[in-house]
Chains A and B, each alone.
Chain A
Amino acid sequence: MRIVVDLNRCQGYAQCVYLAHEVFRLSGQEALTYEPNPDDARRLQVERAAAACPVQAIMIDRLDGTERGEAS
């Protein structure tokens, strides 16, 4: 799956880190880093993390991967 976090919006509440620590990490107090293309097995966890984000900064793909006719 694919995600992107709007880090302008992110305020480091770290809810996502609690809910999906394999995907989201804090570096120090506030700087969030994450795995942008996590394993599909983590989808439920990541969806919960996105739903719990107080500033709704996590965007999850609404399409499965790549469309036809496109290189990868």
Chain B
Amino acid sequence: MSLPATVAELVREFRAGARIVIVGASLAGLRAAETLREEGFTGSLTIIGDEPYEPYDRPPLSKQVLKGWVPADHTKLPRTREVNADWRLGVAAVGLDRITKRVRLADGEQVPYDRLLIATGTRARQWPNPAEAALEGVHTIRSRDDAAELQKELAESPSRVVVIGAGFIGSEVASVCRELDIPVTVVERGPAPLVGALGGVIGEIAAQMQRDHGVDLRCGLGVSSLEGDSGGHVRRAHLSDGTVVDADVVVASLGSIRNVEWLEGSGLAAGVWGVGCDAGGRAFDINGVVTDSIFVAGDVARAPHVLYEYQFLAMEHWDNAVLGAEVAAHNMVNLEPNYRPHLLLPGFWSGQFGVNIKSVGVPPFGDEIVFTQGSVADRSFAAAYGHRGRIVAAVTFDHGKWLEYYGKLIERSGPFPPPPSGWDQPADTKPVPAEFPDPRVPTAIPDVVLTGHAPSERTAEFRPRRH
């Protein structure tokens, strides 16, 4: 048999009889499972998830669910096809042995695999003081149970809500509070909301928008402690400037932590920014060697991106989970030269204070910003981010129809400032510094992070294998 025929036979046999295990039963895990079947994989498929629920969608949790319009259990994801999987829900993976190719579960079971997909995502960073975090009325939002509990308390008209951290999720919570006519104080360590993701120039516009909607916004401050009553319910937040804010609900939106602990000792390039993988989703080991049997997708993945100087990007975005999972799944049941790259231009949306904020590209990669369309005063505009004379990202406020135009320019590494779109140009089109905070300052964590050039840079700890 010729070599190509042998390879084709190998792929056929693999698709018919191999064992694939997916860890993480959420957006990326589900879409990968569906793609595997779509690609003709008929072998055994096991999906392991530590949440007791079938896959559900998270973006509605901080929006229509909190508002009380949609119940938290009405977020189940639609299915594109049957996946015929063995679902192990409510049990966590606690270890990975790459030599025997087994995933160890919390109940002691060992699940063997021929190909493994890591899709364990992230979790919410908790309020750092455990006793204060345990007070009733103190919340984070990641799961549908988190959202259901917070929604219940918001429906009881609390006297005031304190939101700690004004990233996207914190800002969305503040927006919902104002829509429900609940007084809300937002405490943000950085100079403005959304600065980590969109920079200080846009942050200032977001700040004004929050204040116009009656948010008591306190920037440049931290919360130093939370105080409870004798019944163990939170009543007060003490701020770093000595002021005290009375509140019966506190929402800590302090960014996320990647779920990589279960990979400890596996020898994979896993660390605080996730699991390093190539642009085809194949995981790197600690030495920067790509593995053939382990793949990564979604919030927990970090992969080099050709448009951003091959730096490793970690993206906590919905479409990154969907497209990354589809690419990884395709590559799990194919061989060279049929591998596909996951070279998504990052995209994000956030609905808050009646405005649709969208971005494309990687804003923190830019150092300058220019307003290109619309009017800041009307909160309906487009702006582009530039780095060394080329466009690297764009943001729109209620100007989403134009994002595609900027996306195309970014994909071609078009010039910055970009050519005028020929439509509703603002008066001032001079680029100004975008004002991103120093990445070393531990504040306002953006949801797209440039994490360096090497699989191990800033993330993996060099450790010999245990087994």
A residues contacting B by CB (< 8 A) are 1-4, 6-8, 10-12, 25, 27-37, 59-63, 66-67, 69-72
- Contacts A3-B78, A29-B380, A61-B78; is A66 near B398 (CB within 8 Å)? no
Would A36 and B69 count as touching, CB distance under 8 A?
no
Asked if B90 CB lies within 8 Å of chain A CBs, one says yes
Contact bitstring B19-61, A, C-beta under 8 A = 1, else 0: 0000000000000000000000000000000001110010110
Point out the residues of chain B lying under 8 angstroms from A10, CB to CB: 349, 400
Would B351 and A71 count as touching, CB distance under 8 A?
no
Would B82 and A63 count as touching, CB distance under 8 A?
yes
Which of A8, A33, A35, A60 is within 8 Å of B74, CB to CB? Answer: A35
Would A35 and B79 count as touching, CB distance under 8 A?
no
Would B79 and A27 count as touching, CB distance under 8 A?
no
Find residues 76-116 in chain B having any chain A CB closer than 8 Å to their own CB. Answer: 76-87, 89-90
Q: What is the minimal beta-carbon distance from B436 to any residue of chain A, in angstroms?
A: 23
Would A8 and B318 count as touching, CB distance under 8 A?
yes
Would B90 and A2 count as touching, CB distance under 8 A?
no
Q: What is the minimal beta-carbon distance from A7 to any residue of chain B, in angstroms?
A: 5
Would B70 and A61 count as touching, CB distance under 8 A?
no
Point out the residues of chain A lying under 8 angstroms from B380, CB to CB: 29
Asked if B8 CB lies within 8 Å of chain A CBs, one says no
Q: What is the minimal beta-carbon distance from B212 to any residue of chain A, in angstroms?
A: 13
Asked if B208 CB lies within 8 Å of chain A CBs, one says no
Would B76 and A37 count as touching, CB distance under 8 A?
yes
Ordered by A's residue number, 14 sampled pairs between the chains whose C-beta atoms are within 8 Å are: A2-B79, A4-B57, A8-B358, A27-B351, A31-B351, A32-B356, A34-B64, A36-B77, A37-B73, A62-B79, A62-B81, A66-B76, A70-B54, A72-B54
Would A71 and B82 count as touching, CB distance under 8 A?
no
Would B78 and A8 count as touching, CB distance under 8 A?
no
Point out the residues of chain B lying under 8 angstroms from A33, CB to CB: 60, 63-64, 69, 351
Would A12 and B54 count as touching, CB distance under 8 A?
no
Point out the residues of chain A lying under 8 angstroms from B79, CB to CB: 2, 61-63, 67
Would A67 and B84 count as touching, CB distance under 8 A?
yes
Point out the residues of chain A lying under 8 angstroms from B80, CB to CB: 59, 61-63
Asked if B319 CB lies within 8 Å of chain A CBs, one says yes
Which of B59, B60, B78, B89 is within 8 Å of A71, CB to CB? Answer: B89
